[in-house]
Amino acid sequence: MRGFLSYVKRNPAFGAGFAILIFLILFSTVGQLFVDTQKGPYALATMPNLPPGPGHIFGTDRQGRDLLAVMVVGTGLTLEVGAIAGAIGLGIGIVMGFVSGYYGGIFDTIITSMIDVWMSIPGFLILVLIASTFRNIRLGVLEMGLIVSIVSWAGPARAIRAQVLSMRERPFVMMAKLGGMGSLEIVMKELVPNLLPFLVMSLSQSIYGGIMASLGLEGLGIGDRRNPTMGMTLFYVNYYSAFLVGLWWWIIEPVAVIVLTLTSLVLISFGLDEIANPRTRRGL
Amino acid sequence: MTLQYFLRRVVFLFLVIWTAATINFVLPHMTGRDPIKEMLMQQIASQGRKPAEAQTIMNLYNRLFALDKPLWQQYITYITNVAQFNFGFSMQQYPRTVMEIIIARGRMTMPFLVVAIAIAFVGGVWLGAILGWNKTPRWFSNIIIPPLMVFSSVPQYLVALVLIYFAAFRWRLFPLGDPYDKFLTENWGDPKFLASYAYHAVLPIMCIVLVEASGWALGMRAMMVTVEGEDYTTFAEAKGLKPTRIFFRYLLRNALLPSLTGLAIRLGTIITGSAVAENYFNYNGLGSTLGTAISTFDYFLLYGIVLFMVVGIAFATFIMDMVYPLLDPRISYRAQRG
């Protein structure tokens, strides 16, 4: 713990990102104790179009959602979508990256060309296709996370492969090989622990990608329209032309939450990048 | 091995387009439903489309996509159609073909998109170069970099929302939507039309520029810092060259090249991002047509636009790949080996 604190001091980007993320998580978990999560974040909960004031400190929207409740529940949901997509994406990425980088040969050729082709197709468009083709499936948080993870594996896979390639030839891996460790054992006991900061960085990047993609989909109106996620809130802001009727609080609040969420993830991966690639430490 | 490099990129280009087309083909088949029939039934029920007319449309689709033939024949027909940019008819605006709509709407989107990407790239690279230069005062970077980090990490449509609210609604500086004034007709030779188009494009361009230029500025800054650490820069300084000469001839030129690769990689994200942003601007371009196609379940239009965008982005990337080795002689034309 002391080590962590002193590290944060040296690496303000990571510290700031981590603090914002913790704040958002607390906001959505502790906040749920104080707001009505059963009715509040859904339509017709209270009077519509109320500006921020006593009773509804974040105001209400055009359909009578209590925006404080929407923010509390929605922040959680959006982070959840990101976490599901990020975890699955990173999981697939780790398997692909390690197989491709460590075993090489035909696996490497197949996997790298798959990654190259997949990364050249704008993933967001594929998501639009998939999500709107299977429109009879209710796109809740879990489904959204699953769909978004379809595009979030390629980035981590490529990055992990490159890291594994450079690590494979290091002396300590040679030593482990000479010591009679099996391939799987080397990967699990030697490579993964050494790549840990890098993997955490990849995780925060793929959570970032997942949240971006889900926001984009929901912004186009794809997804469960009842779920008060941040993307859906934005969709309704646009759908009911919040700007034209002057409900500024309805625009500013989701924008603020999204900016905080995305910035925190970027800051975290930016900070972790310094540990993962010591080369960049010098310049900053 | 220029020829080998060229062939490799061509094969890759085709692989990308083919994969996208195949996904387009496979997805509707996986649902096990018949969107054409469903759509026509719904139109008969709610929009007063005549059953006889519906049957004609149905036959037309069957002929066009060989839907009554075995699957492999359907696939071949589909791929041939796509290769000829024949995406069928729009289901909602029936007599119009998808390609017609794409051309009509794409005409609105293309010019502002190209201008925006150009401004964002040039502006971002310059800003990044200045930020990364060791002669730039430190307070300048300290003020500029935090907002850049925020802008580069949010999606375009978020910036769009805020811009629309302040610049268009509150201060009434710019129009709220539409690619050109409603009282004008589309005529690209008319200076009045062009002026109106440019005026309406300011906000969409601004939101692409704010987001993308920030990303490039940060990337360029990091590259500048790396190049400053290179031996040839130290040598140039030791020779006593003027700082501006070092900046232009040594730092800028060497740091610029990775940014160009960055442009090729970002292209897809920029275009899809601005497609979503268009929906917020109510812009009536290709992106908002995509949004409409999604909400009205106009599958052929949806698939057509998606495939068109994939092909467009793949070609743009291909061209960048072709130009890049000409700019950087150090690049080897051979495939990269691990």
Quick one: three-class SS letters along A219-284? Answer: HCCCCCCCCCCHHHHHHHHHHCCCCCCCCHHHHHHHHHHHHHHHHHHHHHHHHHHHHHCCHHHHHC
Given this model, what pLDDT does residue A265 score? Answer: 92
Note whether A125 contacts B: Cβ–Cβ < 8 A.
Answer: yes
- Average pLDDT for chain B: 84
| Rounded-to-integer distance, Cα A164 and Cα A194, Å | 10
| Rounded-to-integer distance, Cα A283 and Cα B274, Å | 33
Give pLDDT tens digits for A189-227: 888 888 888 888 889 989 998 999 899 888 888 888 888
Compare CB distances from A221 to B155, B273, B294 and report the shortest one's residue.
B294
Note whether A122 contacts B: Cβ–Cβ < 8 A.
Answer: yes
| Rounded-to-integer distance, Cα B176 and Cα B165, Å | 9
| Rounded-to-integer distance, Cα A153 and Cα A92, Å | 6
pLDDT of B34 strictly over 50: yes
Q: Give A238's contacts in chain B (Cβ within 8 Å).
A: 161, 279-280
CA distances A8 to A4, A127, A272, B143, Å, are: 6, 37, 11, 22
Q: Which of A98-112, A145-159, A265-279, B198-212 shows the lowest mean pLDDT across its residues?
A: A265-279
Query: Do B276 and A117 lie within an 8 Å CB cutoff?
Result: no
Give pLDDT tens digits for A52-80: 878 788 888 888 888 888 899 999 999 99
| Rounded-to-integer distance, Cα A55 and Cα B126, Å | 49
Note whether A130 contacts B: Cβ–Cβ < 8 A.
Answer: yes
CA distances A115 to A131, A155, A161, Å, are: 22, 8, 11
Query: Do A129 and B162 lie within an 8 Å CB cutoff?
Result: no
Chain B residue at shortest CA distance from A132: B294
Comparison of pLDDT for A76 and B28, the residue scoring more: A76
**CB within 8 A of B55, min separation 6: which ones?**
none
Strand partners, A243: none
CA distances A25 to A18, A30, B9, Å, are: 11, 8, 45
Q: Give A168's contacts in chain B (Cβ within 8 Å).
A: none
| Rounded-to-integer distance, Cα B306 and Cα A123, Å | 11
Give the pair of three-digit tokens for residue B327: 């700019």
| Rounded-to-integer distance, Cα A244 and Cα A51, Å | 15
> Is residue B47 helix, strand or coil?
coil
C-alpha of A121 from chain center: 20
Note whether A126 contacts B: Cβ–Cβ < 8 A.
Answer: yes
First to last CA, chain A: 25
C-alpha R_g of chain B: 24
| Rounded-to-integer distance, Cα B23 and Cα B218, Å | 35
Work out how many CB contacts closer than 8 A connect A with B.
134
**Which of A21, A99, A112, A120 best probes binding to B when mutated, by most B CB atoms within 10 angstroms?**
A120
Given this model, what pLDDT does residue A281 score? Answer: 47
| Rounded-to-integer distance, Cα B293 and Cα B304, Å | 10
Q: Give B162's contacts in chain A (Cβ within 8 Å).
A: 251, 255
Give the pair of three-digit tokens for residue B129: 């170069």
C-alpha R_g of chain A: 22
Query: Do A216 and B161 lie within an 8 Å CB cutoff?
Result: no
Calculate how close chain A gets to B122, using CA atoms only, in Å.
23
- Cβ pair A223, A214 in contact under 8 A: yes
Q: Give B15's contacts in chain A (Cβ within 8 Å).
A: 113, 117
CA distances A13 to A79, A270, B138, B155, Å, are: 20, 7, 18, 21
> Is residue A26 helix, strand or coil?
helix
Interface ipTM > 0.95? no
The model's confidence at residue A87, banded by pLDDT at 50, 70 and 90, is very high
* DSSP code at position A50: P
Compare CB distances from A125 to B154, B272, B297 and report the shortest one's residue.
B272
Nearest to A148 by CA among A222, A201, A74, A202: A222
The model's confidence at residue B332, banded by pLDDT at 50, 70 and 90, is low
First to last CA, chain B: 19
Burial class (CB in 10 A: 0-12, 13-18, 19+), B330: exposed
> Is residue B5 helix, strand or coil?
helix
Note whether A259 contacts B: Cβ–Cβ < 8 A.
Answer: yes
| Rounded-to-integer distance, Cα A228 and Cα A205, Å | 24
Given this model, what pLDDT does residue B330 score? Answer: 67
C-alpha of B2 from chain center: 28
Calculate how close chain B gets to A188, using CA atoms only, in Å.
22
Chain B residue at shortest CA distance from A166: B338
Query: Do B165 and A251 lie within an 8 Å CB cutoff?
Result: yes
Alpha helix ranges (H) inside chain B? 2-31, 35-46, 51-65, 71-83, 98-132, 138-153, 156-163, 191-228, 231-238, 243-245, 253-281, 286-295, 299-327
Choose from A121-130, A172-181, B204-213 the range with maximum mean pLDDT: B204-213
Given this model, what pLDDT does residue A81 score? Answer: 92
- Average pLDDT for chain A: 84
| Rounded-to-integer distance, Cα B300 and Cα B101, Å | 11
Q: Whats the size of chain A, residue-wise? A: 284
Given this model, what pLDDT does residue B54 score? Answer: 79
> What pTM does this model have?
0.85
| Rounded-to-integer distance, Cα B289 and Cα B291, Å | 5
| Rounded-to-integer distance, Cα A208 and Cα A188, Å | 26
Given this model, what pLDDT does residue B335 score? Answer: 45
Compare CB distances from B153 to A219, A262, A282 and report the shortest one's residue.
A262
Chain B residue at shortest CA distance from A230: B158
**Which of A128, A233, A269 best probes binding to B when mutated, by most B CB atoms within 10 angstroms?**
A128
A 82-121 residues with CB < 8 A to B: 104, 108, 113, 116-118, 120-121
Given this model, what pLDDT does residue B211 score? Answer: 92
Query: Do B153 and A135 lie within an 8 Å CB cutoff?
Result: no
Please state the rounded mean pLDDT for residues B157-172.
84
Q: Give A117's contacts in chain B (Cβ within 8 Å).
A: 12, 15-16, 19
Alpha helix ranges (H) inside chain A? 2-10, 12-34, 67-98, 105-120, 123-133, 141-152, 154-168, 171-178, 183-186, 192-194, 196-219, 230-239, 248-276, 279-283
Note whether A143 contacts B: Cβ–Cβ < 8 A.
Answer: no
Compare CB distances from A219 to B149, B152, B276 and report the shortest one's residue.
B276
Q: Give A116's contacts in chain B (Cβ within 8 Å).
A: 12
Query: Do B272 and A130 lie within an 8 Å CB cutoff?
Result: no
Nearest to A236 by CA among A249, A251, A246, A214: A251
